[in-house]
Amino acid sequence: MSAAAKRSKLIKGETGEWEIVIGLEVHAQVLSEAKLFSGAPTAFGAPPNSQVSFVDAAMPGMLPVINRYCVEQAVRTGLGLKAAINRRSVFDRKNYFYPDLPSGYQISQYKQPIVGEGEVLIDLPAGESAVVGIERLHLEQDAGKSLHDQHADNSYVDLNRAGVALMEIVSRPDMRSADEAVAYLKKLRAIVRYLGTCDGNMEEGSMRADVNVSVRKPGDPLGTRCEIKNVNSMRFIAQAIEFEARRQVDILESGGSIRQETRLYDPKAGETRSMRSKEEAHDYRYFPDPDLLPLELDEDWIRNIEASLPELPDEKKSRFIKDYGLDAYDAGVLVTERELADYYEELARGIDAKLAANWLNNEILGRLNKDGRSIGECPVSAAANNAIIAMIADQTISGKIAKDVLDIVWSEGGDPKAVVDARGLRQVTDTGAIEAAVEKVIAANPDKVAAAQQKPKLAGWFVGQVMKETGGKANPQAVNAILKARLGLPDEG
């Protein structure tokens, strides 16, 4: 049994258990100022048809010229996927008619892609991981957008996206559940974001996926697959897979067979629907684009790109586990975003690394999530948080006061140390002052003293009262020790 099969989250049918087999084709928009074969800009949200060159509009006699930076981005991504970079690749024309495809063909790479086989390590629950194979990555142009809702009788076309560079990243059918597919996409997104080759923004369509789903009895050969086109959120991908797998199982168990076809996911209805069958599939008549020479890459150029790669999530995670003593889960969470990992490292400098990780997870990310903000938009710097945690460690403030300090700095800004001093939040360790407070509370509650002496657990009430008396600033350990001594309770440590 393969490692993948062991992980399988089998689904139950009438005739036993079924295994879901999933492969993804992800379209990731290359982060680049200009399009793949023209100098037109690529800004998102620009007015319709304002980012279109004569090449993009397929005017007569116009010719594509490859954008070197887009090639570099594809190579960088390939290296980040630990994939083979093909020194020679070929651009082909994929021919079909559609109004948002001005030239009547998409320039893509068919038989000879720029990047060959690689792999992505996905993070599974309980800190485990699994390998998803990458079959290939190729460069291609995006199409424009047809707008059918602008006019009663006419459709409009916006060519701003036409010609924008995409990387199509094709996985092996190595995923066995919707969760794994989502984990794969998350990791892929983290990698391209670390590399700066794609912003990974699914809402704006800069990352979208075609999902191939089939089912089989464990141990059987692969079943017939259906391709669900252009799903644009993690949640929908998971829903589409769940629905599609169940649909296929139901068909097979009722004696039917799966028709290889392209389907669409309708998020409103929560179902996939047939778009076209294999027989209706386009004949794209691929052939090498005679306007473009084969792409030949220099080995030194590739090595230079490789040397400039940043530390990627997997390596960073290993280092966090090793250097900071974090567990796999915490380390995995911290490396999902490069900014978060960087923030953590600055936050943890010179202080307890686990304390820093907990502080970041519970306090900072908690507050950011509530506000719907990212780590890049955090109003309190890592250095300021580092200072707060350092004050807990050297007992300048208590953990509770630290949270108050964070709240103040979060909403009002300022230096945490100055806030502590200015507001007199410094922890009281002066035993005289604590003793005075203890005396005051005991004097005011003689009945409770007797009760506590009978039932030592009630001493906790006195702690609270003393803390209240000292405005929360008293050192809790000191209060405990003094109270116990004063009430004559045994010091249980």
Partner 1 sequence: MTIPNAFTLAEARDALKEKRLSSRELTEAMIEAMAAARPLNAFVTETPEQALAMADASDARIAKGEGRALEGLPLAVKDLFCTRGVRTTAGSRILGNFVPPYESTVTQNLWDAGAVMLGKTNMDEFAMGSSNETSYFGPVENPWRTEGSNKKLVPGGSSGGSAAAVAADLCLAATGTDTGGSIRQPAAVTGIVGLKPTYGRCSRWGIVAFASSLDQAGPMTKTVRDAAIMLGAMASVDPMDSTSVDMPVPDYEAGLDAGVKGMRIGIPKEYRIDGAPPEIDALWAKGAEWLKAQGAEIVEVSLPHTKYALPAYYIVAPAEASSNLARYDGVRYGHRAAGAKDITDLYEKSRGEGFGKEVRRRILIGTYVLSAGYYDAYYTRAQKLRTLIARDFTQAFEKCDALLTPATPGPAFAIGEKTADPVSMYLNDVFTVTVNLAGLPGISVPAGLTKEGLPLGLQVIGKAFDEAGVLRVGRALEVAAGFSAKPGKWWGA
Residue closer to partner 1 by CB (options 285, 468) is 285
CB of 68 to partner 1, least distance (A): 12
CB of 64 to partner 1, least distance (A): 7
What is each CA distance from 424 to 339, 397, 405, 431, in whole angstroms? 34, 10, 11, 17
Residue closer to partner 1 by CB (options 72, 180) is 72
CB of 338 to partner 1, least distance (A): 35
382/237 Cα distance (integer angstroms): 35
CB of 75 to partner 1, least distance (A): 19
CB of 6 to partner 1, least distance (A): 39
Site of interaction with partner 1 (CB under 8 A): 54, 57-66, 93, 95, 97, 99, 102-105, 155, 157, 283, 285-287, 290-293
Residue closer to partner 1 by CB (options 147, 481) is 147
Residue closer to partner 1 by CB (options 286, 301) is 286
Residue closer to partner 1 by CB (options 99, 488) is 99
CB of 96 to partner 1, least distance (A): 9
Residue closer to partner 1 by CB (options 69, 410) is 69
Residue closer to partner 1 by CB (options 57, 409) is 57
Residue closer to partner 1 by CB (options 3, 59) is 59
CB of 288 to partner 1, least distance (A): 9
Specify whether the CB–CB gap between 112 and 91 falls below 8 A: no
Q: 318: which strand partners?
A: none
**Which candidate, 155, 138, 162, 182, places its Cα nearest to that of 64?**
162
